[in-house]
Amino acid sequence: MSFSISALYTWYRNTLRHPKYRWWLILGTAAYLFSPFDISPDFLPVVGQIDDVMLVTLLVSEVSQLLIERFKEKQAQEAGFTGQEVATGPNQDKSSTIDVDAAAVK
């Protein structure tokens, strides 16, 4: 069994996005941050805080992404759009494209 940081990140992200386990993972992360038992002990000057900072950064970024997605979905529902119309716009077809000429600005 091989250990991979990307596999751990993928598991954490997928578990956090699952509504059943979301709060358990958030509470577990908070318990780990305040626990005296860490992967790298906190009494070490720099190395001790690296795992805590990485975990807080991951948790904040994923929770903020979930909140942003929920906010966009709520705005789309209030506007009366369906999920497909939010991605492509209300009057656009999925297969249509728009060509735009670029101009240099000095």
C-alpha atoms less than 13 angstroms from C-alpha of 84 in its C-beta half-sphere: 5
Cβ-contact 53, 62 below 8 angstroms: no
Give tens-digit pLDDT for 63-88.
898 899 889 999 888 887 655 554 55
Residue 82 lies in domain: 5-88
Instruction: Please report whether residue 97 resides in a domain.
Output: no
Specify the pLDDT at position 71.
92
Instruction: Please report whether residue 42 resides in a domain.
Output: yes
Query: Of 65, 90, 64, nearest to 76 (Cα)?
Result: 90
Compute the mean pLDDT over every residue in the chain, rounded to the nearest whole number. 80
Instruction: Please report whether residue 93 resides in a domain.
Output: no
What gap in Å lies between CA 99 and CA 68, rounded to an integer? 29
**Total domains present in the chain:** 1
- Helix, strand, coil proportions of the chain in percent (round to 5)? 60, 0, 40
The pTM score is 0.59
